Amino acid sequence: MFITFEGIDGAGKSTQVKKLQKHLAERGLEVLVLREPGGTPVSEQIRELLLQGKEDITPVGELLLFAASRAELVQKVIVPALDEEKAVILDRFYDSTTAYQGYGRGLDLSMLGEINRIASCGRKPDLTFYLDLSPEDAMIRKFSEKSIPLAFEEEELDRMERSGLEFYTNVRRGYLQIALEEENRFVTLDATVSPQDIHDEILRALVGRFPGLGY
C-alpha cells in the first residue's frame, strides 16, 4: 500500500501522517513513514541543498534536484518496501513537483509529467490525501506556532511575503487542478476542520480502497 500526503506547509500533513501511521500499525501492518525530499543519505544531502542552502537555484535546477532525490528514494527504499508488502506513507511526492514547480514556478507541465514519471520509476500512489488550506490560513497557523504577531493585510506584507502569498495561491490552484484530473487517486480534504475529523475522512477513503482497514 502506497499512500502520499500533499498540501502547502502548515496544512496538517505531519499531523495526519502520524495518525494514519498509528492506525495502520494497530491493524497489524508494517508501516514505513518517509518524507520528501530525503530518506536516503544522498537524498538527505539534496534536501539540505534545497531547503537549507543559501545559494540561489534556478527553477530547472531545483526541479532536477527534487527529481534526483526522488529517484534515489523510490528505487532504494520505496520499491523494496512495497515488494515486502509494507505500507508506505510518504509526506510529499510528485504532485508537489507539479504544484510547486509547475503551477508555482511556471515550468512546462508536460515536461514535468515526463520527469515525474522517470523519477518515480513509474510508481503511482494508491491514494493521495491532499489537505486543502488557503495560504492565508496556513500563514496564520505558522505565525501562531512561533508566536509572531501577524501582519495580515496585504499592504503590511513585504515584497517577499507578497510574492509568497501569490506563489502559494498558484500552488493551491495546481493542487485543485490535479484533483480534477486524478479523481480516483487524489482525495481532497478540507484542512480547516479538526485533526480528528480529517483523520475520520481519511479512514473513510481508505476503507473505500482497502476494505478491512477502517475502524
Amino acid at 154: E
The response to whether 28 counts as a known ligand-binding position is no
State yes or no: 91 annotated in a binding site: no
Give the residue with the Cβ less far from Mg ion, 115 or 171: 171
Closest CA to 49 of 73, 65, 64: 65
Q: Is the Cβ of residue 39 or residue 115 nearer to ligand ADP in the bound state?
A: 39
Which residues make up the interface to ligand ADP (CB under 6 A)? Answer: 7, 9-15, 141, 145, 191, 194-195, 198
**Alpha-carbon span 165 to 67, nearest angstrom:** 25
Is 127:187 a contact under the CB 8 Å cutoff? Answer: yes
Q: Shortest gap between Cβ of 129 and ligand ADP (angstroms)?
A: 11
Using a 10 angstrom Cβ sphere, with 0-12 exposed, 13-18 middle and 19 or more buried, the burial of residue 157 is middle
Residue 141: which of Mg ion, ligand ADP, none does it interact with, CB under 5 to 8 A by kind? ligand ADP
Which residues neighbour 37 within 8 Å (Cβ) at sequence distance 6 or greater?
Answer: 43, 46, 47, 50, 51, 65, 66, 69, 70, 73, 92
Contact 70, 115 (CB under 8 A): no
* C-alpha–C-alpha distance, residues 180 and 173, integer Å: 11
**Cβ closer to ligand ADP: 14 or 134?**
14
CA distance 117 to 49: 23
Q: Is 11 annotated as a binding residue?
A: yes
Shortest Cβ 93–ligand ADP spacing (Å): 14
Nearer to Mg ion, 14 or 170 (CB): 14
Residue whose CB is less far from Mg ion, 115 or 128 = 128
Out of 4, 14, 127, 171, name the contact with Mg ion by CB under 5 A. 14
3-class DSSP assignment, residue 58? coil
108 is in an annotated binding site: no
Write down the least CB distance from residue 76 to Mg ion, Å: 22
Binding site for ATP: which residues?
7-14
Binding site: which residues?
7-14
User: Which residues of the shown chain bind Mg ion in the complex (CB under 5 A)?
Assistant: 13-14
